């Protein structure tokens, strides 16, 4: 008798989510690596650089709800793949801004970063939607933490590489190389990533395991043939105190991410006197800590769930602990040693990694037919900090010449996030959706 084992195709899909997300986040961070050289060559001021950092997020915020609707309407796999190719081409185009008219450099670069934000909008809600389809509830926290670790993979793999390109080739080469990598990855995505019910390598045992564990296998399959999401569904989420508290937490957590992806390399160059090649390697230390914090947050959350603790305890413990740890970034203001400052940021990023388990709350709280829409709304609130944080830091730096106030600003977000989860969110449970059963 032949004993069949369950296939593990879901892990291949998760791997592709990690790689695609890492490339996306590296494309967001490439301006921070090239920023010092670009500023010197093109005469870009700190305030102008702050606005350029924020350009991506202006569009990212605007496009979140439409992106969620597109994911639910046309299928997450298809929309995600097209977006991956699109933002990679826009990344490549940024390498040519230096060849344009000097007076138009800021305008052209802002426009390209803005367009990249529009095209990349399906990334985060797409990750949540695909994870909800491919992973049962008991594995979802770990899976979510793994794909969220992509931001640290981006730093570990791509930031040193981009630093070497800036130091030994040119700042333009960063955009050309990263754009080319993204286009190639989009081709791989089209060949290898499918929904569970359509994947050629999944067997019936794994498919049954996903269904029994609460994965949205069948719901997602119906979305692709015409599920519509109404704007009135927005009220379901915005009228919930629980969801508003979760959105505040996501805004605060993302502020730390944008500080690290935008101003942190420049902080090390201008605030601590390092050269950009060394920064590329030093930045890997906080990234390693963030990576392990992210994985650990998901493991702790799923372990608590399996031991019978409520979903509220399982999700809140790593998030609140992590956000309190992230607030220690303010201690950089009180140390003279660059190594001590890097160690403090390393601890803060470890805490931020723990807190990233909150992405699992999209699938935990959303009606199955609104996972893409819910992910877009969740990411919308987080992305607002991508507008605010770079601009506030740019003005603070230009006004004071130091990063002291900027670090206080970032640290305060960790405290606010912890307070929101402890006193606003309450018991974590699915929100109630009043929908027509024929459309669900």
Structure confidence at residue 3 (pLDDT):
41
Q: What is the 3-state secondary structure (H, E, C) of the chain?
A: CCCCCCCCHHHHHHHHHHHHHHHHHHHHHHHHHHHHHHHHHHCCCHHHHHHHHHHHHHHHHHHHHHHHHHHHHHCHHHHHHHHHHHHHHHHHHHCCHHHCCHHHHHHHHHHHHHHHHHHHCCHHHHHHHHHHHHCCHHHHHHHHHHHHCHHHHHHHHHHHHHHHHHHHCCHHHHHHHHHHHHHHHHHHHHHHCCCHHHCCCCCHHHHHHHHHCCCCHHHHHHHCCCCCCCHHHHHHHHCCHHHHHHHHHHHHHHHHHHHHHHHHHHHHHHHCCCCHHHHHHHCHHHHHHHHHHHHHHHHHHHHHHHCCCCHHHHHHHHHHHHHHHHHHHHHHHHCCCHHHHHHHHHHHHHHHHHHHHHHHHHHHHCCHHHHHHHHHHHHHHHHHHHHHHHHHHHHHHHHHCCCHHHHHHHHHHHHHHHHHHHHCCCCCCCCCCCCCHHHC
Give just the sign of the alpha carbon dihedral 419, 322, 346, 177: negative
Residues 6+ apart with CB under 8 A from 161: 280
> Which residue shows structure tokens 């140390």?
335
CA distance 143 to 363: 12
Residue 306 lies in a domain: yes
Residue 1 lies in a domain: no
Structure confidence at residue 440 (pLDDT):
41
pTM recorded for the entire structure: 0.68
Rounded to 5 degrees, φ, ψ at 426 are 75, -155
Q: Give the pair of three-digit tokens for residue 209.
A: 């395991």
CATH number at residue 413: 1.20.1250.20
**CA neighbor of 175 nearest in space, from 102, 114, 113:** 113
Structure confidence at residue 226 (pLDDT):
44
> Which residue shows structure tokens 């609140």?
320
Residue 3 lies in a domain: no
CA distance 139 to 108: 44
Average pLDDT over residues 190-217: 82
pLDDT at 339 over 60: yes
Q: Mean pLDDT over all residues of the chain?
A: 82
How would residue 438 be classed by pLDDT, with cut points 50, 70 and 90?
very low
How would residue 324 be classed by pLDDT, with cut points 50, 70 and 90?
very high
Residue 269 lies in a domain: yes
The answer to whether the beta carbons of residues 428 and 311 sit under 8 Å apart is yes
Residue 4 lies in a domain: no
Structure confidence at residue 38 (pLDDT):
79
Residue 440 lies in a domain: no
Residue 2 lies in a domain: no
Angle, to 10 degrees, between the axis of helix 9-42 and the axis of helix 76-94?
Answer: 20
Residues 6+ apart with CB under 8 A from 225: none
Domain carrying residue 257: 10-215+222-431
Is pLDDT larger for residue 287 or for residue 116? 116
Note the pLDDT tens digit of each residue in 398-426. 888 888 998 999 999 999 999 999 999 98
Structure confidence at residue 280 (pLDDT):
67
Indicate the number of domains in the chain: 1
Q: Give the pair of three-digit tokens for residue 366.
A: 């959303």
Output the CA angle 303-306-311, nearest 5 degrees. 85
Note the pLDDT tens digit of each residue in 61-118. 888 778 877 887 888 888 999 999 999 999 999 888 877 666 678 888 889 999 998 9
The region, left, alpha or beta by phi > 0 then psi within -120 to 50, assigned to residue 45 is: beta
Note the pLDDT tens digit of each residue in 217-267. 765 444 444 445 566 677 888 888 999 999 999 999 989 888 887 788 778
Average pLDDT over residues 111-131: 87
Residue 148 lies in a domain: yes
């Amino acid at each position: 008798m032949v004993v069949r084992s369950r296939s593990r195709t879901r892990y291949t899909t998760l791997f592709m989510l990690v790689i695609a997300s890492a490339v996306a986040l590296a494309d967001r961070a490439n301006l921070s690596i090239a920023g010092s050289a670009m500023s010197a060559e093109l005469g870009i001021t700190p305030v102008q650089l702050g606005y350029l950092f924020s350009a991506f997020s202006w569009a990212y915020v605007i496009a979140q709800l439409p992106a969620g609707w597109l994911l639910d309407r046309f299928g997450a796999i298809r929309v995600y793949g097209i977006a991956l190719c699109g933002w990679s081409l826009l990344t490549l185009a940024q390498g040519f801004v230096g060849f344009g008219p000097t007076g138009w450099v800021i305008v052209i670069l802002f426009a390209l970063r803005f367009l990249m934000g529009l095209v990349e909008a399906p990334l985060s809600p797409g990750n949540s939607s695909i994870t909800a389809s491919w992973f049962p509830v008991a594995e979802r926290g770990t899976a979510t933490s793994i794909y969220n670790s992509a931001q640290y993979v981006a730093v570990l793999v791509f930031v040193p590489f981009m630093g070497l390109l800036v130091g030994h080739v040119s700042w333009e080469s960063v955009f050309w190389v990263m754009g080319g990598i993204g286009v190639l990855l989009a081709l791989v995505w089209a060949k290898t990533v499918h929904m569970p019910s359509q994947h050629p390598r999944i067997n019936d045992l794994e498919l049954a395991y996903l269904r029994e564990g609460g994965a949205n296998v069948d719901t997602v399959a119906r979305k692709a043939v015409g599920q519509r999401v109404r704007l009135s569904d927005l009220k379901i989420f915005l009228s919930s105190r629980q969801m508003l508290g979760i959105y505040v937490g996501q805004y605060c957590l993302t502020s730390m991410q944008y500080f690290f992806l935008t101003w942190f390399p420049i902080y090390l160059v201008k605030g601590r006197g390092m050269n950009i090649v060394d920064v590329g390697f030093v930045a890997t230390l906080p990234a390693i800590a963030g990576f392990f914090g992210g994985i650990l947050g998901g493991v702790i959350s799923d372990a608590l769930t399996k031991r019978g603790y409520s979903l509220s305890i399982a999700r809140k413990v790593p998030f609140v602990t992590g956000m309190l740890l992230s607030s220690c970034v303010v201690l950089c203001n009180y140390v003279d040693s660059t190594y001590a400052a890097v160690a403090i940021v390393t601890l803060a990023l470890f805490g931020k990694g723990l807190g990233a388990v909150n992405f699992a709350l999209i699938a935990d709280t959303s009606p199955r037919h609104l996972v893409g829409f819910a992910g877009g709304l969740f990411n919308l609130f987080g992305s607002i900090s991508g507008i605010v944080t770079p601009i506030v830091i740019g003005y603070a730096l230009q006004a004071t010449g130091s990063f002291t106030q900027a670090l206080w600003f970032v640290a305060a977000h960790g405290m606010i996030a912890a307070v929101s989860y402890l006193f606003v969110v309450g018991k974590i449970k699915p929100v109630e959706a009043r929908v027509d059963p024929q459309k669900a």
